[in-house]
Amino acid sequence: MYNNKYVNEWVEQMAALTQPDEIVWLDGSEEERIRLTKQALSTGELIELNQDEYPGCLYHRTAENDVARVENRTFICTSKKEDAGPTNNWMEKSAAYAKLGTLFEGSMKGRTMYVIPYIMGPASSEFSKVGIELTDSIYVVLNMRIMTRMGKIAMDMLGDSPDFVKGLHAKNEITPEKRYICHFPEDYAIWSVGSGYGGNVLLGKKCFALRIASWLGRKEGWMAEHMLILGVEDPSGNVQYVSAAFPSACGKTNLAMMIPPKKYQEKGYKVWTVGDDIAWIRVGKDGRLWAVNPEAGFFGVAPGTSMKSNPNALLTCKKNTIFTNVGLTPEKTVWWEGMGIPAPEQATDWKGNPWTPDLPEKCAHPNSRFTAPAAQCPCISDKFEDPAGVPISAIIFGGRRAKVAPLVYQSFNWAHGVFVGATMASETTAAAAGKVGVVRRDPMAMLPFCGYNMGEYFQHWLEMGRKIANPPKIFNVNWFRVDENGKFIWPGFGDNLRVILWILARCNGQVDAVESPIGYLPKPEDIDLEGTDVSLDTLKELLSIDKDVWMEEVADQAAHLAKFEKLPQELKDQYEGLKARIEKM
C-alpha cells in the first residue's frame, strides 16, 4: 500500500471487482524491473533479445486479433451525449461502468494486479499530472516504465492528494467483441479491457495525455495536442521550437528526429527532439505558448525505420527497448520491412510462424512497434526535462494530400489557422498506382483523441488565441504532393528542414510572402533548393493552387463542417471567406 488513502481505497475497490490473487505496489526500482522481467521471460510473455547486440532489449508478440488501436471500440463515457460530440463513440457513463463491470468482474482471478503510479510530464514541473494504472500485464508495466516517469517518484509528487487519473486495465479475454477502451472524463477515469496492444493499454498515452487531458485542458485553460515538438538550432546557437500535428502515419517521428541536409549540418544547423507524439501547451508569463512533452519514451512504428529514413530512431532503440510484433531472427535480433538491411534468410514472423523472404506474408506487422526511452535519442533536446517546456514559434498542421495543399502556406491569423487545423485532411494511399486515396478529415490530427465535443474543442482553440499576447504563427505543410505518375515530388525527410527554415524566417519577420486565397505562400526563391534535385519550376508547381481542385476541396470542407452542431461562428465566417476567395480566383 502507499501513503495515500485515496489511492489505497480506490485500489481496494478495483481489486474487489477484479479479484486478483495478489496486488503488487510498484516503486519503479531497478530491482523491480529485473524481477518482473525474469518473471515475464519465464512465462514466455517476453523473449530476451541478443544481449550483445541489443542490451536490455525484449521482444513481445500480441494476439493476432489485437495489433492496433481500435477506434470503433473506443468510447467517451459522459452523462450527456453532447459532451462527447459528433466525432466520438459515446456511452452513457453508468451504463458503461455496468457493461464493463461485468467484463472486469473476477477478470484477475489467478493473476496479479500491478499498481503503477506514473507522471505525465517532467517530475519537477508544476504542469505535470499523476496517473495510476492498475493492470494484470507485466508487459504493460515494463512499457509504462519507459513511456512515463513511474514508481516512487509519482507517489512523491502526488503526496496525499486525491488528484490522479484512475486507469484500470485487464487483459481478460483478448476477443475483439469483448474489447472496450472507455474514458470517463467527468471522473478522470479510464477503463480498458480485452486488449494487450500498446495504444489501448498504455493508459498514460492516448487515453490520458490526449483524451482525458484535452478535457482537462479545456477546463483549466491549456491544450493537450497530438503534436511533435522540435527545436532548430541555427549556426549562432540560437534554438527555436515548432510543434506539428499530423494524422497517424504521416511521419511525425521522422520529422521530430530529422537530420539536416549535409550543407546545413556543415553550417552548424541542428535539429533537437523534444517530443514525437504529444504536446501539453500553456500560455507562459511572457505571453508566448510553452510546450512540454508529457511522455518519457517513444512508442514508434518500426517498419520503414532505417538508417536512411530515421537514423536517430534506430539508434534510440539499440538498447533498453521493447519490440512488439516485429520479426525475430535465429540470432535473437529484430528485423522489419524497410529496415534498410537485407532480410534474414529465415526468421520467425510477428505471428510466431517460420518466415523466409520468398513468402508473401510480411515478417513484421505493419503496425509493429518499438518502445524506447527518449533520453537515449541522439538528438534529444536538453530542454526535454525542462519543467517550463519550450516556447513555440510556429504551429504546423499537415497531412497527405496528393494534389490539394501546396508544400507550405501560412495562415492569415490565429482564427484562420484554427480553421486550417479544423479542416485538415489526409488521404489514404490507394492500391492502384497514381490513384488518389480516400480523404479523411482529421481536425488537428485529434479526431480519435479529442476527449470531448469537437465543436467546443474548436471554440477552445479560438479562445486560447485570445489569451496569447504573442501567439505562434500557424502553417500548413504537405510533403506528399505527387506528379502525374503518382510519384512524390518533394524529397521529404531531412530536406523538410528547408521548409521549416522558411517558416521560422516568417516568424522572425525575415522574409516576405505572397498573399493567396488560402494564405501566405512562399516566394519560390525563398525556399533553398541547393543540394536537392528539385528545380525552381518544380517548386513553383509544389506551391501552386488549382482553382478546380480547391472548389472540390471547399465543397468537401462544407460537408465536414456541417457535422459540427457546435461549430463556432468564427469558423463559419472563415469558411465563407475561403469559399468566396476561391470562387474569385
The residue ranges that bind Mn ion (CB under 5 A) are 277
- Residue 200 binding: pick among ligand OXD, Mn ion, none (C-beta 5-8 Å cut-off by kind): none
To ligand OXD, the closest distance from the beta carbon of 299 in angstroms equals: 6
To Mn ion, the closest distance from the beta carbon of 277 in angstroms equals: 4
Of 211-270, which residues contact ligand OXD (CB under 6 A)?
A: 248
Which residue's C-beta sits nearest to ligand OXD? Answer: 248
Residue type present at position 478: N
From 205, 202, 215, 221, select the one nearest 281 (Cα to Cα).
221
Separation CA 390–CA 293 (nearest Å): 9
Backbone angles phi, psi at 370, to 5 degrees: -120, 140
Site for ligand OXD contains 312 (CB under 6 A): no
Of 491-520, which residues contact ligand OXD (CB under 6 A)?
A: none
Nearer to Mn ion, 183 or 481 (CB): 183
Nearer to Mn ion, 366 or 486 (CB): 366
**Other C-beta atoms within 10 Å of 203: how many?**
32
**Other C-beta atoms within 10 Å of 559: how many?**
9
To ligand OXD, the closest distance from the beta carbon of 199 in angstroms equals: 5
Q: Which residue has the cell 500557424?
A: 474
- Residue 273 binding: pick among Mn ion, ligand OXD, none (C-beta 5-8 Å cut-off by kind): none
Q: Virtual CA dihedral for 411, 415, 418, 423, nearest 10 degrees?
A: -80
To ligand OXD, the closest distance from the beta carbon of 300 in angstroms equals: 8
Separation CA 316–CA 369 (nearest Å): 13
Nearer to Mn ion, 442 or 570 (CB): 442
Which residue's C-beta sits nearest to Mn ion? Answer: 277
DSSP 110-169: TSEEEEEEEEES-TT-TT-EEEEEEES-HHHHHHHHHHSEESHHHHHHHTT----EEEEE
- Residue 325 binding: pick among Mn ion, ligand OXD, none (C-beta 5-8 Å cut-off by kind): none
Q: Virtual CA dihedral for 280, 281, 285, 288, nearest 10 degrees?
A: 150
Nearer to Mn ion, 40 or 317 (CB): 317
To Mn ion, the closest distance from the beta carbon of 278 in angstroms equals: 7
- Residue 261 binding: pick among Mn ion, ligand OXD, none (C-beta 5-8 Å cut-off by kind): none
Nearer to ligand OXD, 344 or 398 (CB): 398
Nearer to ligand OXD, 248 or 310 (CB): 248
| Contact present, 353 and 125 (Cβ < 8 Å) | no
Nearer to ligand OXD, 69 or 93 (CB): 69
- Residue 401 binding: pick among ligand OXD, Mn ion, none (C-beta 5-8 Å cut-off by kind): none
- Residue 199 binding: pick among Mn ion, ligand OXD, none (C-beta 5-8 Å cut-off by kind): ligand OXD
From candidates 277, 385, 495, 553, binder to ligand OXD by CB under 6 A: 277
Residue type present at position 457: Y
Catalytic residue annotation:
250
SS (H, E, C) 402-419: CCCCCCEEECCCHHHHHH
Separation CA 160–CA 155 (nearest Å): 9
From 311, 197, 327, select the one nearest 254 (Cα to Cα).
311
Nearer to ligand OXD, 329 or 368 (CB): 368
Nearer to ligand OXD, 37 or 368 (CB): 368
Separation CA 414–CA 420 (nearest Å): 10
End-to-end CA distance of the chain: 68
Sheet containing 58-60, strands listed edge to edge, beginning at the edge strand earlier in sequence? 47-48, 58-60, 322-324, 369-373, 297-301
Nearer to ligand OXD, 242 or 245 (CB): 245
To Mn ion, the closest distance from the beta carbon of 226 in angstroms equals: 6
Contact string (CB under 6 A) for ligand OXD, positions 23-62, x = contact: ----------------------------------------
Number of residues this chain uses to bind ligand OXD (CB under 6 A): 4
To ligand OXD, the closest distance from the beta carbon of 277 in angstroms equals: 5
To Mn ion, the closest distance from the beta carbon of 280 in angstroms equals: 14
To ligand OXD, the closest distance from the beta carbon of 246 in angstroms equals: 9
DSSP 233: E
| Contact present, 167 and 207 (Cβ < 8 Å) | yes
From 224, 213, 316, select the one nearest 273 (Cα to Cα).
316
Of 57-76, which residues contact ligand OXD (CB under 6 A)?
A: 69
220, with CB counted inside 10 A (0-12, 13-18, 19+), is exposed
List alpha helices for 298-351, DSSP H. Answer: 311-316
Backbone angles phi, psi at 557, to 5 degrees: -60, -40
From candidates 28, 199, 217, 421, binder to ligand OXD by CB under 6 A: 199
SS (H, E, C) 443-488: HHHCCCCCCCCHHHHHHHHHHHHHHCCCCCEEEEECCCCECCCCCE
To ligand OXD, the closest distance from the beta carbon of 7 in angstroms equals: 28
SS (H, E, C) 165-208: EEEEEECCCCCHHHCEEEEEHHHCEEEEECCCCHHHHCCHHHHH
Can you give the binding site for ligand OXD, defined by CB under 6 A?
69, 199, 248, 277
